[in-house]
Amino acid sequence: QKEVEQDPGPLSVPEGAIVSLNCTYSNSAFQYFMWYRQYSRKGPELLMYTYSSGNKEDGRFTAQVDKSSKYISLFIRDSQPSDSATYLCARGGGNKLTFGTGTQLKVEL
């Protein structure tokens, strides 16, 4: 079993839709969770990070961690074509980050 599991997609939604991206993880010892956004042929950029359980909101983005079910979610409200990218979840702790495989999102006009 991979430490972080993520549906690779692709996921296609119309502009303005609410997008839900999800990951599961297997090791409950780690406390930090991140979401990175990666445009094609670019390096990933940090979107949000959360500590332990709960929600964190930043503009149109909300990150949610449910430690009881080992579930990480990213919600994007009022999605825009510029949100089209690959979204990588990761869990942190110790000396490294462990990433999911990434979900490719396309927001269509």
Partner 1 sequence: DGGITQSPKYLFRKEGQNVTLSCEQNLNHDAMYWYRQDPGQGLRLIYYSQIVNDFQKGDIAEGYSVSREKKESFPLTVTSAQKNPTAFYLCASNRDSGANVLTFGAGSRLTVL
Q: Which residues bind partner 1 (CB under 8 A)?
A: 4, 6, 8, 32, 34, 36, 41-46, 49, 51, 88, 92-97, 99-102
| Nearer of residues 41 and 69 to partner 1, judged by Cβ | 41
| Nearer of residues 62 and 101 to partner 1, judged by Cβ | 101
| Nearer of residues 14 and 43 to partner 1, judged by Cβ | 43
Rounded to a whole number of angstroms, the minimum distance from the CB of residue 69 to partner 1 is 21
Rounded to a whole number of angstroms, the minimum distance from the CB of residue 78 to partner 1 is 26
Taking the C-alpha atoms of residue 10 and residue 87, their distance in angstroms, rounded to an integer, is 11
The conformation of residue 53, written as its DSSP 8-state character, comes to S
| Nearer of residues 9 and 75 to partner 1, judged by Cβ | 9
Cis peptide upstream of residue 8 (ω within 30 degrees of 0): no
Question: 1: number of CA atoms within 13 Å, CB side?
Answer: 6
Rounded to a whole number of angstroms, the minimum distance from the CB of residue 98 to partner 1 is 8
Helix, strand, coil share (%) of the chain residues, nearest 5: 5, 55, 40
Handedness of CA 78, 80, 84, 85 (dihedral sign): negative
